[in-house]
Amino acid sequence: MALQGGFAEHISHLQALHVEAFEIRKLSDAVRPMDGLIMPGGESTVIGKLLKDLVIYDDLKKRINGGLPTFGTCAGMILLARQIAGTETAYFGAIDIVVKRNAYGRQLGSFSTEAEMKGIEGKIPMTFIRAPYIESVGASVEILSVVEGCIVAARKNNVLVTAFHPELTADNRLHQYFMDKVVLSRNGK
């Protein structure tokens, strides 16, 4: 999804894995055949507004609810969450998590660390930028990574979310994980 934010870096990571990618900027892009969708980081309020203004929202929501493999990073995770803590706002509501926006406060909003993630061997570099974290998850949501007591990655069926930006590091194992575990396993390949 290329309405705003860090989509170019996601596309580079996909290309490094020899995965074909195209940008979704308007409705005619959103209805093209696709095996998976990535929602990048950026500013969730801006992306949320553009989704509605450009009339892309309804089609994408239908596809995600229909099982389209979807990966949201940072603002992308906020857009996919069932609830944004302390607000009435929700966008796709595609995964049963409550997220807290700008959750680390001003000082700690942006930082890098290395931590483990279920399903990936060894530690992966994690870059957080004015990051949200996951405050709570519904019963059937799988927690994939916890950093300093906060949930930072989770998955339910076709929806994968991370509070951090894997596309801003040279490591593309998370994109590989999305391809292998979410996209290809769904298509039975």
Can you give the binding site for ligand GLN, defined by CB under 6 A?
Answer: 41-44, 74-75, 78, 101-102, 129-130
Nearer to ligand GLN, 24 or 84 (CB): 84
**Residue tagged active-site, from 10, 116, 150, 165:** 165
Please state the closest distance from residue 153 (CB atom) to ligand GLN, in A.
14
Classify 93 in phi/psi space as left (phi over 0), alpha (psi -120 to 50) or beta: left
**Residue tagged active-site, from 10, 13, 74, 175:** 74
Structure tokens at 91: 């966008």
Please state the closest distance from residue 25 (CB atom) to ligand GLN, in A.
18
35: burial class by Cβ within 10 Å (0-12, 13-18, 19+)? middle
Please state the closest distance from residue 42 (CB atom) to ligand GLN, in A.
5
**Residue tagged active-site, from 10, 13, 167, 175:** 167
Nearer to ligand GLN, 130 or 186 (CB): 130
Is residue 134 within 8 Å of 178, Cβ to Cβ? no
CB contact burial 47-71 (16+ within 10 A = b; e otherwise): bbebbeeeebbeebeebbeeebbbb
Nearer to ligand GLN, 30 or 163 (CB): 163
Give the C-alpha separation, 64 to 159, whole Å.
8
**DSSP annotation of 181:** I
User: Strand, helix or coil at 146?
Assistant: strand
Please state the closest distance from residue 66 (CB atom) to ligand GLN, in A.
25
The reply to whether 150 belongs to the active site is no
Please state the closest distance from residue 40 (CB atom) to ligand GLN, in A.
8
Residue keyed to tokens 């990655």: 153
The reply to whether 10 belongs to the active site is no
Nearer to ligand GLN, 133 or 178 (CB): 133
Is residue 178 within 8 Å of 69, Cβ to Cβ? yes
The reply to whether 23 belongs to the active site is no
Nearer to ligand GLN, 41 or 166 (CB): 41
* Active site positions, annotated: 74, 165, 167
